[in-house]
Amino acid sequence: MKRRTFLQAAAGAGMTAAAAGTAGLLAGCGRSDAVPQSPVQFVPGRAMPWMNWSGNQSCTPAWRAAPASEAELVDVLARARGVVRAVGASHSFSAVVPTDGTLVATDLLSGLVSHDPATLRAEILAGTRMHALGPMLHGVGQSVPNMPDMDYPAMGGAIVNSVHGTGQRFGSMSSCVTALTLATPSGQLIDCSAERNAEVFHAARTSVGALGIISRMTLQNVAPFRLVETTRIETTEEVLDEITKRCAMHRNFECMPLPHSSLCVTIATDEAGPHDTPTGEDDPQAVKSLRTLWQAVGWMPGMGEAAYDKLLTTFMAGEGSQVRVGQSYEVFPHVRVVRFREMEYTVPADAGPACVREILRTIRERRLPIAFPLEYRYVKADDIWLSMFEGRDGCSISVHQYGDTDHRAYFAEIEPIFWKYGGRPHWGKIHTLDAARLAALYPRHWKDFQEVRRSLDPQGRMLNPHLKHIFGA
């Protein structure tokens, strides 16, 4: 999707509207739901506020700590005041971080601890960012088997929130963890795995940070590999009709349906061959161009949606494929420069096509002014107690809103559709479910997790208001 194509289309549409004598209507079509992207301000002489990447979560902790070793982490937890929360890259959209007590940054707990060339396992510190992990592992002849499409998060945050990529044969990042060390609120270090302290292990691999702070983890990796990623513009219905075939054909596959349009962006990723070469250029501003086009024509009474779809079809349908080639850690992630807010639910894999079709139909029939693409991915089942993929293969569907626009009305329209299909919310993304409704989505291990949580944190020192809400504590 080339930015100049969208901008040319938007400009042409705006000129057409003006020539038709309707440009004056634009004055009444400005957004009344605009919100600041930076809702908190630093006041000299006062405590430094914290804000997440998308700008929808913030707090002013009384004490900030940045331990550089496990010994320092234990000491911080022993001396912590108020509610303790850990923070890595600040990329979660839900309120998992905010506290007015102690905020523990994991940035200095970063790096490779050890590796085993025979088993292809590597032990890393939990503050290691994904963008550093790829080159680090490559240097010792290893690679994670799969990654999400952004590499900003710290690995500790990625694990506790069950961050994932796409691919029916691949689980979440949490499923790659074979052992970990947990620093509890009491200052105890617990080493755990499937064989040692197994209950803590099954709970900690996706815990929303409610048990303590992960200090290190062991990852089951694979040998380094190269990928070729092909991005195309296709018809949404055709892609959904043959989604099973598409997923079987490719190592990784996802699509991004465009609201108010018949089109979607497909991304197919496979192991690269010796003759694969890159073509085209990634455009991190493409989602802004979509909004520019929507604002140019979407306001037109009775015809805005049709005009938008027509322009997209005219200007995009003939776009050639874009191909990226490189090491896996170079190809999986994409640059994110446009702020947004996100809600994601994982429904049973078989329910994915019906669920996304209903979302698109609802956006169209209720004339929701949405230009940001959806995201549609598949993830393999696992046995992690509070993973969104526990016990079932999942189809993860995301809806987004631009960071300077109020997301609440849009998300409120769409969230009940996810409930209808038995969706489980992503822990690090926006949702409204409470403990009672979440417990029903995790019938096998919700009580088991709660027992482990209470045993490790009987005073609730890790529970901010959001975690109290979702865990009923």
At 22 the pLDDT is 37
Q: What is the mean pLDDT of residues 385-409?
A: 97
At 34 the pLDDT is 66
Q: Is the pLDDT of residue 10 over 90?
A: no
Q: Domains (ranges, CATH) in the chain? A: 50-105 (no CATH), 112-223 (3.30.465.10)
At 285 the pLDDT is 86
* Listed range (117-126, 226-235, 279-288, 309-318) with the worst mean pLDDT: 309-318
Between 325 and 11, name the one with better pLDDT: 325
Give 68-125 pLDDT, tens digit per residue: 999 999 999 999 999 999 999 999 999 999 999 999 999 999 999 999 999 999 999 9
Report in angstroms the alpha-carbon separations of 375 from 71, 266, 397, 430.
Answer: 41, 10, 6, 15
Axis-axis angle for helices 286-297, 3-19 (nearest 10): 10
Q: Is the pLDDT of residue 11 over 90?
A: no
Give the model's confidence band at 36: pLDDT under 50 very low, under 70 low, under 90 confident, else very high. Answer: low
Q: Which residue has the tokens 């208001």?
A: 465
Average pLDDT, the chain: 91
Sign of the Cα torsion 136, 138, 144, 149 reads: positive
Give the model's confidence band at 174: pLDDT under 50 very low, under 70 low, under 90 confident, else very high. Answer: very high
At 47 the pLDDT is 83
Give 344-396 pLDDT, tens digit per residue: 999 999 999 999 999 999 999 999 999 999 999 999 999 999 999 999 999 99
Sign of the Cα torsion 121, 126, 131, 136 reads: negative
At 78 the pLDDT is 93
Whole-prediction pTM: 0.93
